[in-house]
């Protein structure tokens, strides 16, 4: 099996979805740790939904080669770590262009690693774009938000099939949304290939609470947003804004209009 990022065959090493350096800051048992996986199977409209209460903090995937793990991904971890740890400790942080790019890249990398367990796999383009540029593609949006919960962690990954009017339905996802929560820090990622998902609801309902970091739009942004922190119900609602669980499990897999 080739590495999801560089496509080279080679021994794959265990990759933590939440890196080891974050784990001391995440709740040790499953009480607050939930994550959800939606499983798409080629040619089937039914989508299996699995909700886990467990320890996503220690979730490991075997999809990345040692060279990527210790190379560009290790460098990205090293660069993002001080910023993330500062936010985890509750510090307000301002990000300039380079910082916004860095933090956005970390969340997209983490979302892609979390999503690498899904079958059918996301199209390789999602991974190769990140591998080649070490930053999110232009077809990607990343926002930061905040929760009041320390130790909370969550990875909610949703592959999406967007079906434009005049084209046949995709058999594999051509879009995904992902919410990665590490302690008080929330990253929300939407990425697509050939058809743009609607983020209208996302912006209508959560706009003020979101700090956009990719593509970089403001020379300086500050986390957390003064508009407030999202509680558990709001986190679930945010994860539903691009594609609701009901739409996905009903096989529609289309974004909310
Ligand atoms: Zn690799």
Position 233 scores a pLDDT of 87
Q: Per-residue confidence at 257, pLDDT binned at 50, 70, 90?
A: very low
CA–centroid distance, residue 2 to ligand 1 (Å): 8
CA of 127 to the centre of ligand 1 (A): 10
Q: What share of the chain is helix, strand, coil (3-state, %, to 5)?
A: 30, 25, 40
* Percent of the chain whose predicted confidence (pLDDT) is above 90: 50
Distance from the alpha carbon of residue 148 to the mean position of ligand 1, in angstroms:
36
208 pLDDT more than 60: yes
Pick left, alpha or beta for residue 159 (phi over 0 → left; psi -120 to 50 → alpha; otherwise beta): beta
Residues in Cβ contact with 103 at an 8 Å cutoff, skipping those fewer than 6 apart: 80, 83, 84, 95, 142, 144, 187, 213
Has residue 55 got a pLDDT over 80?
A: no
Give yes or no for residue 118 having a pLDDT over 60: yes
Mean pLDDT, residues 133-143 taken together: 96
CA distance 73 to 91: 25
**pLDDT of 57:** 61
What is the CA(11)–ligand 1 centre distance, in A? 9
Residue 70 Cα distances to 2, 12, 64, 135, angstroms = 16, 12, 10, 17
- Sign of the CA dihedral 113, 130, 49, 204? positive
The torsion defined by the Cα of 75, 77, 82 and 87, in degrees rounded to 10, comes to: 150
Neighbours of ion ligand 1 (CB under 5 A): 3, 5-6, 65, 68
What pLDDT score was predicted for residue 227? 95
The CA distance from 93 to 87, in Å, is: 7
pTM, rounded to two decimals: 0.87
56-113 tens-digit pLDDT: 566 788 899 999 999 999 999 999 999 999 999 889 999 999 999 999 999 999 999 9
- 69 C-alpha to center of ligand 1: Å? 7
Q: How far is the CA of 28 from the centre of ligand 1 (A)?
A: 30
Helices 72-88 and 97-115 pack at an angle, to 10 degrees, of 110
Q: Between residues 155 and 37, which one has the greater pLDDT?
A: 155
18 Cα to the center of ligand 1, angstroms: 18
User: Ligand 1 center to residue 208 CA distance, Å?
Assistant: 38
Question: What pLDDT, on the 0 to 100 scale, is given for residue 19?
Answer: 86
| Dihedral angle sign, alpha carbons of residues 189, 61, 56, 240 | positive
């Amino acid at each position: 099996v080739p590495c999801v990022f560089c496509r080279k065959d080679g021994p794959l090493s265990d990759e933590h979805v939440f890196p080891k350096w974050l784990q001391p800051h995440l709740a040790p048992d499953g009480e607050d740790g939930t994550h959800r996986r939606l499983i798409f199977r080629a040619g089937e409209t039914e989508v299996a939904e699995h909700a886990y209460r467990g320890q996503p903090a220690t979730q490991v995937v075997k999809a990345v080669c040692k060279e990527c793990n210790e190379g560009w991904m290790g460098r990205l971890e090293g660069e993002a770590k001080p910023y993330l740890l500062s936010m985890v400790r509750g510090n307000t942080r301002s990000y300039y262009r380079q910082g916004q790019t860095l933090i956005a890249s970390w969340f997209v990398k983490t979302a892609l690693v979390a999503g690498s367990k899904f079958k059918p796999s996301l199209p390789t383009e999602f991974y190769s774009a990140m591998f080649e540029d070490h930053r999110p593609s232009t077809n990607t949006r990343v926002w930061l938000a905040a929760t009041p919960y320390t130790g909370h962690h969550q990875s909610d990954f949703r592959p999406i099939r967007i079906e434009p009017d005049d084209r046949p339905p995709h058999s594999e996802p051509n879009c995904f949304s992902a919410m990665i929560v590490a302690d008080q820090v929330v990253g929300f990622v939407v990425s697509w290939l050939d058809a743009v998902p609607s983020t209208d609801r996302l912006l209508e309902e959560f706009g003020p609470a979101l700090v956009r970091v990719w593509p970089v739009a403001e020379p300086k942004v500050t986390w957390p947003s003064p508009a407030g922190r999202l509680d558990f119900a709001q986190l679930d609602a945010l994860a539903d804004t691009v594609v609701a669980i009901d739409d996905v499990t009903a096989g529609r897999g289309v974004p909310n209009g």
